[in-house]
Amino acid sequence: MIGETKSLPSAREVLAPDGSEVRILLARSGGSMAHFRLPQGQVSQAVRHRSVEEIWYVLSGSGEMWQSDGAASATFPLRPGVCLTIPACVAFQFRTLGPEALTAVAITMPPWPGDAEAEPVAGPWEPRHGSLNKAGP
């Protein structure tokens, strides 16, 4: 079997549990890839993934991501060219700063397992985003 290709969908396909817009890309047995967008002025819902890890690469916009493992926490700047990891069971929340949407591609390992993967947690910022549904990337 040879590889696959897919172009970035023009519209979001689902709304992630954190409130970000998701355009699903490709998946293999070890992981999946998606494009995430958080519109200007918005703040995601803080969540913790139960079993998946992610690697993010920021494409455009600017913002911040908070992460906490319960013992320590940190806030990371998000800007084009920044790559960061989100370990399994680590709480995280992100927000846009500046005049444009924040966009990133992310790899989820293993592939996104379904609705129950993300659990809401308390974060440092009040969430500000569109209505949530239970779809995942």
Q: How far is CA 81 from CA 3, 7, 84, 126, in A?
A: 26, 21, 10, 26
More confident residue, 137 or 52: 52
| Structural domain contains residue 76 | yes
Mean pLDDT computed over every residue of the chain = 93
| Structural domain contains residue 87 | yes
| Structural domain contains residue 68 | yes
| Structural domain contains residue 63 | yes
Domain count, the chain: 1
Which domain CATH number covers 87?
A: 2.60.120.10
Distance CA 17, CA 20 (A): 8
Quote the pTM value: 0.91
Give Cβ neighbours of residue 107 (< 8 Å, ≥ 6 apart). Answer: 31, 32, 33, 54, 55
Boundaries of domain holding 56:
14-120
pLDDT at 91: 98
Give Cβ neighbours of residue 1 (< 8 Å, ≥ 6 apart). Answer: none
| Structural domain contains residue 2 | no
Distance CA 47, CA 11 (A): 24
pLDDT at 101: 97
Mean pLDDT, rounded, for 109-134 = 84
| Structural domain contains residue 6 | no
